[in-house]
Amino acid sequence: MNLKEKIAIRAKPIDKTLQKYLKIREPTKLYEASAHIPLAGGKRLRPVMALITCDMVGGDSEKAILFATALETIHNFTLVHDDVMDDDDLRHGVAACHTIYGLSTAILAGDTLFAYAFEMITDSDIDDRIKADLVQNVAYVVRKIAEGQQMDINFEEKETVEPKDYLEMIRLKTSILFGAAAYGGARIGGTNEDEARELENMATNVGLGFQIWDDYLDATASEDVLGKPSGSDIRQGKRTLLVIEALNRANSKQRRRLLEILDSDNNDEDIVEAVNIMDECGALSECHIQANKYLEGARKVLLKYPESEARTLFEELLEYMVTRGH
């Protein structure tokens, strides 16, 4: 069985729980809008990570299913609201929520998913002390995700972004929800707070590697692998880590040309030229190195746990997150 199949099996109870909670009620427009993106698919990496962590620390991941589904619900709430803010039309291969249901209902659908997540956590068959702890952690993480999204919005008005600021932005916007998955899975699995925080930190770092790898892939992988045209970040002029590193490393001529391509309409040849500049100045390999650094650090933490099916799956998951598509 390959990794995709293994993940799909782990994701089954998540999908089932989503379907149970997100059934259509009155007013139907609100509930159809709420279910639209979560039920359109997605890899379910966050909830699967929560389940695997729970098993790896010796817990019973059955008890973590509601919590894991809550994280997927939170993830989807942020996608629905982000698409409104960025006015993106497509998500998971379907129309974004607001393009079908309108701005107001999309905002409400996000709020509804946010609320559902806390209903799921408190519906869990776990100790009340753990429940309260997970609610607090997830609420804190949602606030941090909002900070990350605000930083991303702020960056759009900035001339230059420092690598450390970019990393902080993706840590907040993307990575710490992976951290919350590992933390919650570990707590439900019975670890103490310190051990859960170490796993949270490990998973947050993997989340960073995941996002850096995403930026890397966008420039280097084929349309077949990506499921969208290659170089779309460059086309949109996004300041990814790859672009930031390239602007820092390029000579003045390369830099001028790269900025020109990023900040104007560009064709396929321009994209190829931009990627070549990123390659020549060492930005591509720098991103590759950084993504791998996060992966290696995470591997070391996993090796503290006894060998098990869950640990092996976790290792494969990490590997997939930071080397997929190549």
User: Which residues make up the interface to its own copies (CB under 8 A)?
Assistant: 26-27, 29-30, 81, 84-85, 103-105, 107-108, 110-112, 114-119, 121-123, 127-129, 131-133, 135-136, 138-140, 142-143, 146-147, 149-151, 153-154
Residue at token pair 């809550």: 70
Residue with Cβ nearer its own copies (118 or 320): 118
Q: Which is nearer to its own copies, 172 or 287 (CB)?
A: 172
3 vs 115, beta carbon nearer its own copies: 115
Nearer to its own copies, 8 or 39 (CB): 39
Tell me which residue has tokens 């040849």.
269
Kindly state the smallest distance separating residue 96's Cβ from its own copies, in Å: 14
Q: How far is the CB of 120 from its own copies (least distance, A)?
A: 9
- Kindly state the smallest distance separating residue 110's Cβ from its own copies, in Å: 8
Q: Which amino acid is at 190?
A: G
Least distance in Å: CB of 30 to its own copies? 4
What is the identity of the amino acid at 290? Q
Rounded Cα distance between 192 and 185, Å, is 12
To its own copies, the closest distance from the beta carbon of 242 in angstroms equals 23
In the complex with its own copies, which residue's Cβ is closer, 84 or 301? 84
CB of 76 to its own copies, least distance (A): 13
**In the bound complex, what is the minimum distance in angstroms from residue 217's beta carbon to its own copies?**
27
Residue closer to its own copies (CB basis): 72 or 270: 72
Structure tokens of 285? 């390999």
3-state helix vs strand vs coil in the chain, percent to 5: 80, 0, 20
- CA-CA distance, 49 to 180, in Å (whole number)? 10
Give CA 90 to chain center in angstroms.
17
Q: Any idea what the Cα angle at residue 315 is, between residues 310 and 321, rounded to 5°? A: 120
Asked if 246 and 261 count as a contact pair (C-beta separation under 8 A), the reply is: no
Query: Based on CB atoms, which residue is closest to its own copies, 107 or 226?
Result: 107
Q: How many residues does the chain have?
A: 326
244 to each of 155, 259, 286, 287, how far by Cα in Å?
Answer: 12, 11, 11, 10
Residues 165-196: b if buried by 16+ CB within 10 A, e if exposed:
ebbebbbbbbbbbbbbbbbbbbbbbbbeeebb
Nearer to its own copies, 147 or 319 (CB): 147
Residue 236 tokens read as 């949109």
Task: Supply the angle between the helices 3-21 and 103-123 in degrees, to the nearest 10.
Answer: 100
User: In angstroms, what is the minimal distance from the CB of 118 to its own copies?
Assistant: 4
Nearest CA-CA partner of 68 in 10, 26, 22, 6: 10
